[in-house]
Structure 1
Amino acid sequence: MTEDTDLAWETLDSEIDYRCPGFDVRESAVRLPDGTETDYHHVEEVESVVVLPFLPGGDEVVLIEEWRQAVDRVNRGLPAGGVEPEEDDLEAAARRELREETGYEADAMTHLCTTEPVNGIANSTHHTFVAGGCEPAAEQELDHDESIRTLTVAYDDLVAAVREGEIRDGRAALAVSRYELG
């Protein structure tokens, strides 16, 4: 028996407990490794893409400011969103999200990392991309429930804002940190 098997939970039953736009809540009856049976709830959502978009020259980035109801404030972060069911190309999804949320298009797109940001409570998977040579190309195409303002800032100022805790958005902080690690 491997170490992973020693830690694995057995799913006895599982069903969607609640559905809403953007995510579902799944309830599962599980058996823990010690034999205890209990219920476990987690959030299910589609895979997401996150984009760290650099303007030509690489000294400035495109950010968004977006109202986030869950924390009752405007959040400064990066363009991000769910992969559509018909999309099987993550880079294309990242390009679409960048264009829809900011109106910018990129000359180049490179995968930076894939993470599971809250795997204790959700099955979320985020695919982070670095976009280069971003230029305004269209109007924003926001979803009905998005309130987003686009701005550009010096990349060094973004790094400082992440370092000082001014940027609280986890996707943005992670993208900048991973990018800085090279």
Structure 2
Amino acid sequence: MTIKPWRRTGSRTVHRDRWVHLRAEAWVTGEGKVLDPWYMLDWPDLVHVVALTPDDRMVLVRQFRPGAEATVLELPGGMVEAHEADPVAAGRREFTEETGYAAEGFRLVSTLRHDPAHAGNRLHVVLAEGAVPAAAQQLDHGEEIAVECLPVSEVVAGLGAGLIGNAGHVGPILLALRAAGRLGF
């Protein structure tokens, strides 16, 4: 079966602020079906950092997430600022701000789509190796973050049981561990 491209026939802003731009679009599918409204979210690119310490631990952050109504364990990271052209530099900045750690080396592992059905932004996966405590956290307004370093084997074993509650962090962990030579697939 050949999938024909869809055609956008309209777009209107529902809400826009510094964090998100919500649009209601009208689309015609390749088979001629009209989808209106089709909601799209525009927000900045994101960066997730998978950081490994010299003693084989992963640097993680625990913070309250309103969508889950719970405190969850996640990868450090955040938004790539508008003035940042390099996602690795953005990852280094976010990692240091949120954790107070530095690392010997940072490298881009993959660039993925965050939610291609409803968002145009990208998700950059950065691997940081040789992570060590270096300074105090520099948290943004509203951030309350606890840093936890868990053995890599414990993180991998707990993925299927929801140790990392954000589904968008599981793939980056696996990709980064493969890039670090820790997993083969």
TM-score relative to the length of structure 2: 0.87
The aligned length equals 177
Number of the residue aligned with 1:129: 126
- Map 1:20-99 onto structure 2 (within 5 A): 20-39=17-36, 40-57=38-55, 59-99=56-96
Q: 1:20 to 1:71 in 2, by over 3 A?
A: farther
1:163 aligns with 2:160: yes
Superposition CA RMSD, Å:
1.7
CA–CA distance in structure 1, aligned partners of residues 184 and 107 of structure 2:
15
3-state DSSP of counterpart to 1:151: strand
2:110 equivalent to 1:113 = yes
Mapped to 2, the partners of 1:71 and 1:19 lie a distance apart of 24
Structure 2 residues without counterparts, runs of 5 or longer: 178-182
Question: By how many angstroms is 1:137 displaced?
Answer: 1.6
Return the alpha-carbon distance in structure 2 between the equivalents of residues 22 and 161 of structure 1: 32
Once the 2 structures are TM-superposed, how far is the Cα of residue 134 of structure 1 from its aligned partner?
A: 1.1
Q: Which runs of 5+ in 1 are unaligned?
A: none
Q: Equivalent residue for 1:103?
A: 100
What is the identity percentage for the equivalent residue pairs of Structure 1 and Structure 2? Answer: 28
How far off its partner does 1:101 sit? 0.8
1:21 positional shift: 4.7
The 8 Å contact of residues 64 and 148 in structure 1, kept in 2 or not, is answered as: yes
Please state whether the residue corresponding to 1:120 is helix, strand or coil: coil
User: Cα distance 1:139–1:174, how it changes in 2: closer, same or farther (>3 A)?
Assistant: same
